[in-house]
Every structure is written in C-alpha cells, then in structure tokens.
Structure 1
Amino acid sequence: MQHTILVGSYSSEITALEFDTSTSPPTLSVSASFPTGKNPSWISPHPSDKSLLVAGNEVPDGKIQLFKFDQAQKTLELLGERPSGGADPAHILVLEDEIIVANYTGGTVQVVPLTLDPPSLGTPSQVFQLTGTSVNTTRQESSHPHQAVLHLEGHEVLVPDLGADKILRFAKENGKWVIKGSVDITPGAGPRHIVIYENKLYTVGELDNTLIVHEFPALPEEPRHITTLPTVRPPREADPAMIPAANILAPPTPTFPTPFIYVTNRNDPHPEGDSIAIYSLSSPDEASPGGVTLVNEVHTGMKHARGLAIGGPDDKYLIIGGVHGGGIKVFERTKGGASLKEVAKLEGVEKPTGFVWL
C-alpha cells in the first residue's frame, strides 16, 4: 500500500512523498515538489476535504496560501493567498468555513473566512493583538502565539501564548470569536503546543522542557493543574539548548488500545540525536497523577527535529524530519505504541518542518 505525505519546510517548496508499505522493508521516496512562498513551515488540511490545504509562509510579512492537491496527478494548484495578519505565522487551524492563524513574532491571531464552492479565501474578518509578557526576558518579551487547536467538546479554540505563559480560550458569541478566559501556565514554561484528550489538557513547555497536565472542563469552569513531567527520562536532565518542539496525540485504535503522547526534543546534544519522549495515558494512580507516565525516550538521529505526524493503517507509523540534518525518517510504532523502530529513511528534502498524511 502506498501513502502520500506532504512535507512543509524552511525552503520555498512543499514536497510530496510516497511511503510504500508493500515492500520489505518499506520505502520512502519523493514523488513531486511544488514551488510556494518562502518557508511554508506548517501545512493544514481542510477537515472534510483533504485535497484542500493551507500553508503559512513563516516570514516577517507573513502570508497564508490555499492549495488544491490532486493526488492522482501529483499537482498542487495555488487557489489564493492572503496576509497572515502578522509576522511569522507558526501554525494554522483550518475549520469548515474559516482559518485561524497564529502569528508567532507578530503576536497576533487572525481569522480568515473560507469558501468551499468554489474554494477561496475571504477578507480577514478578525485580528487579535495579544499583549502578554512573562519572566524570561529574552524569549517572553511579548506575546508569541504558537498554535491554534479546536476543542470540539468545549466549542472552543485554544491558543498557547509562549510569551505570556497562558493558553487563551476563544469561543463564538454572535458569530464572532471572543476571548473567554485563559489557562495559566508555570511562569517561564513557555507553552508551545497542546493536545486535548478526555477532558485533560497536555501542554509542552518549550522553555523548561516539560509536559504540563491540567484537568480541563468546559467553559465557564476553570482548569485544574494535575502534574508536570520532564521531557527527558531521569536520571538524564535536559540540556539548556534543548527545546521541546511538538507534541501529538495517538488516540486508541484496535492495534494500539493505549493512548500515547509523543513529544520531540530538538537540539538534543545526545550522540544519537534528537529524541522523542513517549508518554502513556492510562488510569491515574499515586505513581502517575493524572494517568500520564513518561515510558520511553527514543533517539532519532535528527538534528533540530520540529514537527512529527502519525498515519498509515491504524496509525501504525510516525514520520519526523531534521531541519539541520538527519533527513526524514518513518518509524513503526512497536510495543503497543510505547516504542519506535526505524523502517524507512530519505535524504535530500531541504529543511523539513511539518508533515500531513493524506
């Protein structure tokens, strides 16, 4: 079986890969490359039409671009573009009829209407200028929104602000997004990426190398801190140069009945390169408050690993790339998801940053 994976990058192109699991071992190859704006570092598909994709140009005069991908013909058509509403769009959330952009350096969150018939971008309808700061005067001198995540159960969009040590809670009122509250994070932690699972919020602290867990009821209830775990396994300690870069949730499947969270540790000085911290989510007990346990740390050979993504049949595989070296690798999830085994590698794709399984 062949799987198509799109790759965002710190270059000026999006690359299409073919991951073939019919061979032994599986193979990973480039099927096409497409010119784009500069630094299409994050790619997000439309929730109900995976052929529609939005990429962010992570540059000072940030843009978002809407594309149509033809998987059979391996073509990528630019349908339109708009200013992102601030410098360095780091993350894009695509909803059914609008797009929410988190502009890291600009400190803004912008909403752009999206039409599907025909697919097109509207005029930006809302821009929020965030104004937070926190204790790290080098990295938290101003707001730095780093992600936007839909919380379906709570009818919210959550935006971690690395510069303010807060996660903002957006909800709709009279058809417009408004900020309805926030989650306070440990001062100096620098919330970067989050996942939500079974009314718990899991936050990666970029600046203190932690995974922070909150009980997370729907608005207007307030969250409650449960526990904070390191992103490296004791007795090893995080090097000051290390930065947790991304986290993803692997929900239960028939093959992997236990849910896991995977977190990348970029700039790891370990001789085997950047690592992936693997957390098991199970029933809480005294030894693991909140039911989350750091069960493994797998070194990848990557240098400056950023995004990673899970896909394939029953979410069997994980793909990751190194911006400064190590190529792109696919790992098979083993031991029920608690470990990873490298099964395919590809060199030559320039500065990969993010991945989308189609």
Structure 2
Amino acid sequence: MRLLPLLLPFLATAVSATRFFIGAYSGQILSANLDDTTGAITLLSSTPASSPSPSWQELSPVDPQLLFTVEERAHSDDSKGAVSAYLIGSDGALTKLSTALGLLGPVSLGVSPDGKTIFTANYGASGVSAYCTDDGTGALQHLQDWTFELSSPGAVPSRQDAPHPHQALFDATGQFVVVPDLGADLLRIFSVDGKTFSQLSPVVVPPGTGPRHGAWFPPTGIPLFYYLVGELSNTVTVFAVSYPSSGGLKLTQIQRESTLPLGSTTTTSAAPNSTPSAAEIAITPGGRYVYVSNRNDKVFPDGHSVAIYSRQATTGLLTSIGWADSGEQTLRHIALDPSGRFLLVEGQDSNEIAVLPVDATTGKLGAAVGKFAVPGGPVCVTFEK
C-alpha cells in the first residue's frame, strides 16, 4: 500500500496509444502507434519483405496476432497475386507465416467473422479468389477463382473496359460476401457455406457508377444498411439490407448522394487521373457521421477533400454537412481510429498521412494535428480494435 502514492504520478502520465498498420506501395507494411490524446503517430516497425505492393490488410477477427495482406504481384510469380499471413509481435514487428497464390492484382481482401475464409477482389484479373486459413498456424490455402467478362465497355470506357472487382466484404453473418465491381457496375454477391461458395444474382447499379468500396452499418450484428462509394459517379448510395425468408441477401437502394458540390466534374473523360474520383468510406462508431474521400477534386485549392454527412439513425439516410480540406493529395484511403476521435487520411501522392480531429458534436473535421511521412505513398490503414 505504501507504494501506491509513488505509482500514481506515473499512472497519471502514462501515454495511451492505439496500434495500427500501414500498407504502402514502397513494398513495406509499417506498424505505428496513434497517441489517443494528441493524435501524434510514432513508428514502431517496418516489414520490408511484405510484397511489391501490399495495398490492403485486415486483422483476423478471432486472432489479434494475425494480419492478412494482399500482394498485387507475388514475389515468387509475378503473373499471380497472393495473400500472406503475418504474426504480429509484441513490438509491432511482423513475421511472415505463409503465402498462397491466386489471381493477379488483388486490391482488397475480406476475412470471414470466424477467421476461416478469405475473399480477394482482383482488379487486374477481372476476378475474385477464395482462400481458407488455419487461425492456429496462419497457414493459407487457395480454394477457388472466378473470372468475369463484359460483352462491351461500360459508360466510362476508359475505366470500364473490363470487370474490375475492387473490394470483398463479408457481412456479419459470414454467409455472404459483397464484391463491388467498378468495371461492370455490379455488386456481385457470393454465398458462403464452409468451403462451398455460390454466386447469387448481382445488384445492378446505374451505368457509370463505378462501384468501389462499401461499408455495413451496424458493422457487427445483423446489418441494416449498406453504404456504397461510386468512384466514377462520385456518389455514395444507401441500400436497405434484408435477409429474405427464402434465403439470400437483398440490397434495396433508398438514396444516392453526390460526394462533390453541385456542378463539379465527374470522371467521364479519357484522363481519369485529372478528374474527381471518390475512393473510401468511414462511419463513426455510433453511426452519427459518414466520411467519403475524394481525389483530384477542386473543392479546395491545395488538398483533396473529405465529404461529410450526418446519418439518420432510424432510416439510415444521409444529409451533406460539407467538406473538409485534407491538405493531402489522392486520398485512396481513410480510416477512423476505434474511438472515432481521429480520421486518418492517406495521401497516396503526397506520401504522408494526416490526422484530422473529429468534432463529436458536429461531425466536422479540424485541421491536421499531426502528419506522418510514408515513402512510396500510404494506401491502407488498419487499426487494432
């Protein structure tokens, strides 16, 4: 008991931080801490053996020491893509446990809630791959591929010359995977039963939408809503989610909103890198606010913008409340820390991450309270829960 007064000053000044992982086109996965009070980022470790392009990573839902990442081109065979599993050390260092090859060009992966199944969206190969994993060892096994074709180019031929799956997202039941296909203007849906997979009827979205990424709300339990970012149309679309008694997953569109101010140009030219293109979505833990990143927009003179929406709890509908200047270029990805106090915006072309504080009352974003350089361009951030 006499030691307690001596310990109290140290406890009071202890720094609370949340660990997270950064994928970068430099070929490295970085481990870092985010100070929960100040928003400062501190590097913990760098893993140079990750891949030529570790552009997406996810933590195992059942084993917090396992991190899975895609490799757009595999080390051992550059005609293939791959998924790798890493063991997370106590210091944040990553040790590769296994790799399994699949279709070329995976840009996203989803892990089932039981941690046993992984789906990848393979933009470059116009397909989807399925894998299984042993959470005890991190061992990966490739199971199945699906490839798709278009009979003719889509409404934006420069980007819709072929199917381009861009995300694989399990629902919380683990029975369904939704794959936004940017090239085909479809939401492809797969059912999952152990190692048996079936394609269900896709959801068709308006021509030129360019489905990129989506998010469920609530993120755990049975989802009520699905929010989809349309990269080419610069829109966020709200779907009501239901599970018919006859089986399957039903997505019913109830709203479609622009991610840009009225009158802004969308991606319809042959030069997609010079016109706006929406990218990523993040929803605050309580679901009050939704953020969507923009790229190449002109809302602000120096940095690309983040669109901000309030979300109605019962209906799920969105109301635009403005835009925030990220100060960064090409916001390929954004992520909220688990507390919802900070939004990390990844500037792929400005080679850094900016930490923007979130006003819990208004949902608005403040000026950056910290910046963190990432050579080669940060493209994905994944927080530990």
Instruction: Establish whether residue 114 from structure 1 lines up as the match of residue 139 from structure 2.
Output: no
Q: Are 2:282 and 1:248 aligned?
A: yes
Q: State yes or no: 1:215 paired with 2:257.
A: no
1:39 match: 53
Residue aligning to 1:199: 224
Alignment deviations for residues 175-231 of structure 1 (CA, whole Å, 9 cap, x no partner): 411011211101111100111225222111111111112223225475332221100
**d(CA) in 2 for partners of 1:175 and 1:34?**
31
Q: Over residues 89-137 of structure 1, what are the superposed CA-to-partner deviations in whole Å (9 max), with x where a residue is unaligned?
A: 1101122112111100101111111012222112x11111122453222
TM-superposed deviation, 1:260:
2.1
SS of residue matched to 1:49? coil
2:381 maps to 355
Larger radius of gyration: 2
Aligned-partner SS, 1:339: coil
Query: Could you tell me which residue of structure 1 aligns to residue 66 of structure 2?
Result: 52
The amino acid across from 1:111 in the alignment is A
| Structure 1 residues 213 and 93: alpha-carbon distance in aligned structure 2, compared to 1, 3 A threshold | same
Count the aligned residue pairs. 342
Q: Does 1:281 align with 2:294?
A: no
Q: 1:207 to 1:239 in 2, by over 3 A?
A: closer
RMSD: 2.1
Matched residue, 2:23: 8
CA–CA distance in structure 1, aligned partners of residues 17 and 164 of structure 2: 38
In the alignment, structure 1 residue 67 sits paired with structure 2 residue 94: no
Q: Aligned-pair distance for 1:239?
A: 5.4
* Distance in 2, Cα, partners of 1:39 & 1:179: 29
1: distance between equivalents of 2:373 and 2:122? 30
One-letter code aligned to 2:239: H
C-alpha distance in 2 between matches for 1:305 and 1:31: 24
Assess if the C-alpha contact under 8 Å between 2:39 and 2:355 holds in 1: no
C-alpha spacing 1:222/1:7, structure 2 compared with 1 (3 Å): closer
Report what 1:264 is aligned to: 293
Q: In structure 2, how many angstroms separate the alpha carbons of the residues matched to 1:63 and 1:75?
A: 21
1:80 to 88, 91, 98: 98
- Residue 172 (structure 1) aligned to one of 192, 198, 215: 192
Corresponding residue for residue 255 of structure 1: none
Rounded Cα–Cα distance in structure 2 between residues aligned with 1:199 and 1:182:
19
Equivalent residue, structure 1, for 2:111: 94
Residue 331 of structure 1 corresponds to which residue in structure 2? 356
2:54 is equivalent to residue 27 of structure 1: no
Amino acid paired to 2:236: L
Q: Which amino acid aligns with 2:293?
A: T
Q: How does 1:93-172 map to 2 (within 5 A)?
A: 93-95=110-112, 96-122=115-141, 124-132=142-150, 134-153=154-173, 155-172=175-192
The whole-number CA distance in structure 1 between the counterparts of 2:234 and 2:215 is 16
Structure 1 CA distance for aligned equivalents of residues 317 and 54 of structure 2: 36
Q: Is the 8 A contact 2:351 2:375 kept in 1?
A: no
Structure 1, unmatched stretches of 5+, are 253-257
- Separation in structure 2 between the aligned mates of residue 88 and residue 154 of structure 1, nearest angstrom: 24
Aligned-partner residue type, residue 43 of structure 2: V
For the pair 1:18 / 2:33, whether they are aligned, the reply is yes
Which structure dedicates a bigger proportion of its chain to strand? 1
Aligned to 2:261: 233
Partner residue of 2:204 out of 143, 167, 184: 184
- In percent, how many aligned pairs have the same letter? 26
User: Structure 1: how far apart are the matches of 2:288 and 2:173?
Assistant: 18
Contact 1:169-1:181 within 8 A present in 2 as well? yes
Q: Match for 2:31: what amino acid? A: A
**TM-score, structure 2 as length reference:** 0.83
- The whole-number CA distance in structure 2 between the counterparts of 1:194 and 1:272 is 27
CA contact (8 A) 1:153 1:218 kept: no
Between 102-111 and 59-68, the greater mean CA deviation after superposition: 59-68
Q: Which amino acid aligns with 1:2?
A: A
**Partner SS, residue 166 of structure 2:** coil
Q: 1:337 to 1:41 in 2, by over 3 A?
A: farther
Compute the displacement of 1:298 (Å).
0.6
Unaligned 5+ runs, structure 2: 1-15, 74-78, 218-222, 268-274
> TM-score, normalized by length of structure 1?
0.89
Tell me how far apart the structure 1 counterparts of residues 342 and 296 of structure 2 sit (CA, whole Å): 23
| AA at the equivalent of 2:128 | V
Contact 2:63 2:135 in 1 (8 A): no
